[in-house]
């Protein structure tokens, strides 16, 4: 039996419960959770914005220690320090064979399969992970080893926010040295975009948010210009970029207004990358003439367009070398009974990343 925070239906509060978690089957790994970041995707699942089978144990940005392994597992062993990947590619589907493992057809299959029981009722792992618990069972493809130099609380963030943000810069947008970058929204993903821009050698890095403390934190991570949200963004950005606009804009919010303003602040021929996950009711409009005239590229971004098998170890190496500051993203820690409060803080725009330590 393991303690977990269980969500029975969208919009309800989480409740602590004792789950019956079976031992790992063939190809599976059981992990004792050391830390799980509270991600905006968890909030979207809790509110029903994103679909998930219920009842569910949310939490997908996790790291921990392998407890036991199932038959045939060769890539992990008890005692291994690992980060969990919520979207492990199978390497065999059409998308994987096209070199697009972030779009793998089966990467989210485990989210729709029960992995534990509560009073005889099936329970599902949120985004295939179930990280808001003392322990979980996942596919061996979903665990990747963590260097000793990286604390597990820090490594947890690589499972989602950091990999997404850094990948958005290096893989999706392919920012080149000296190019100007605009980042709208400074949550865990947005601040990871800022750090990714620094890794890429970007020139001007302009950041936008409503919270002064987040703007200050972004400056410590490499931002060169800060703008408080609410101004005429396109005009402000052009004033900082030779009247052209940013070479690359990253919307890390996902609202129609922020997507549109990010696109308008991008130079002619530049690229706008949508990293934030918005709801289906968020509709963005462009005229046919402006699409022609500005010749901008607007593109989506799923999990930073990464191959977790190779990119997670690379990002962890960046952290071990001190080229990424993961600890600075953590602005609070809570136990399993503090997740609802962390959701409330996130909704209010407070803090960057709260980490759940079971």
pLDDT digits (tens, 9 = 90+) for 317-343: 999 999 999 999 999 999 999 999 999
State the virtual CA torsion across 274, 279, 283, 289 in degrees, nearest 10. 10
Q: How confident is the model at residue 344 (pLDDT cuts 50, 70, 90)?
A: very high
Tokens matching residue 15: 């409740």
SS3 219: helix
pLDDT digits (tens, 9 = 90+) for 281-305: 999 999 999 999 999 999 999 999 9
Would residue 220 be called left, alpha or beta, if left means φ above 0 and alpha means ψ between -120 and 50 degrees? Answer: alpha
Looking at residue 300, which CATH number applies to its domain? 3.40.50.720
pTM of the model: 0.95
Residue 312 within a domain: no
Same domain, 190 and 238: yes
Work out the pLDDT band at 249, boundaries 50, 70, 90: very high
Q: Domain of residue 35: give its range.
A: 2-150+326-356
Q: Are residues 29 and 75 in the same domain?
A: yes
Give the helix/strand (H/E) hosting 23: none
Are 175 and 275 in the same domain?
A: yes
Per the domain annotation, does 20 fall within a domain? yes
Of residues 130, 124, 109, 145, the one with CA closest to residue 42: 130
Q: Would you state the pLDDT for residue 351?
A: 87
**With bands split at pLDDT 50, 70 and 90, how would you rate the model's confidence at 349?**
confident
**Domain annotation covers residue 156:** no
- Checking if the pLDDT of 49 tops 90, the result is no
Looking at the structure, tell me whether residues 62 and 98 fall in a common domain. Answer: yes
Q: How many CB atoms lie within 10 A of CB 106?
A: 17
* Domain annotation covers residue 220: yes
Tens digit of pLDDT for each residue in 197-225?
Answer: 999 999 999 999 999 999 999 999 999 99
Check whether residue 298 and residue 167 sit in a common domain.
yes
In the chain, the number of structural domains is 2
In the predicted model, what is the mean pLDDT of residues 151-169? 97
Query: What integer pLDDT is reported at residue 348 of this predicted model?
Result: 87
Average pLDDT, the chain: 96
Question: Would you say residue 170 has pLDDT above 90?
Answer: yes
126-145 mean pLDDT: 97
Residue 48 has pLDDT above 90, yes or no: no
Q: Is the pLDDT of residue 50 over 90?
A: no
Q: What is the CATH number of the domain that holds 83?
A: 3.90.180.10
**In this structure, are residues 163 and 157 in contact, taking their beta carbons and an 8 Å threshold?**
no
């Amino acid at each position: 039996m393991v303690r977990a925070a269980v969500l029975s239906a969208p919009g309800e509060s989480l409740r602590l419960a004792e789950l019956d978690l079976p031992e790992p089957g063939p190809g599976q790994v059981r992990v004792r959770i050391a830390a799980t970041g509270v991600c905006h995707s968890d909030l979207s699942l809790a509110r029903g914005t994103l679909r998930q089978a219920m009842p569910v144990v949310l939490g997908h940005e996790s790291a921990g220690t392998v407890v036991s392994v199932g038959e045939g597992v060769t890539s992990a062993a008890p005692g291994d320090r690992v980060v969990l990947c919520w979207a492990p590619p199978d390497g065999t589907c059409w998308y994987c064979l096209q070199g697009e493992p972030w779009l793998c057809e089966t990467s989210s299959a485990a989210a729709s399969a029960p992995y534990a029981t509560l009073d005889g009722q099936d329970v599902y792992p949120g985004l295939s992970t179930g990280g808001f618990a003392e322990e979980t069972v996942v596919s061996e493809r979903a665990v990747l080893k963590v260097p000793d130099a990286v604390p597990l609380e820090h490594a947890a963030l690589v499972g989602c926010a950091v990999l997404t943000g850094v990948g958005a810069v290096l893989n999706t947008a392919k920012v080149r040295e000296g190019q100007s970058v605009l980042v709208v929204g400074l949550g865990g993903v947005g601040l990871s975009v800022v750090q990714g821009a620094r890794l890429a050698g970007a020139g001007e890095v302009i950041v936008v948010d409503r919270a002064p403390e987040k703007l200050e934190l972004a400056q410590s991570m490499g931002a060169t210009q800060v703008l408080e949200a609410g101004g005429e963004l396109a005009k402000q950005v052009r004033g900082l970029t030779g009247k052209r606009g940013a070479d690359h804009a990253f919307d890390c919010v996902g609202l129609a207004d922020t997507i549109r303003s990010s696109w308008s602040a991008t130079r002619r021929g530049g690229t706008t990358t949508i990293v934030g996950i918005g709801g289906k009711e968020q509709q963005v409009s462009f005229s046919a003439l402006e699409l022609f005239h500005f010749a901008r590229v607007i593109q989506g971004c799923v999990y930073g367009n990464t191959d977790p098998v190779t990119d997670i170890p690379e990002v962890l190496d960046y952290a071990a070398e001190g080229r990424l500051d993961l600890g600075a993203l953590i602005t609070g820690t809570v136990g399993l009974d503090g997740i609802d409060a962390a959701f409330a803080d996130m909704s209010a725009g407070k803090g960057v990343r709260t980490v759940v330590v079971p």
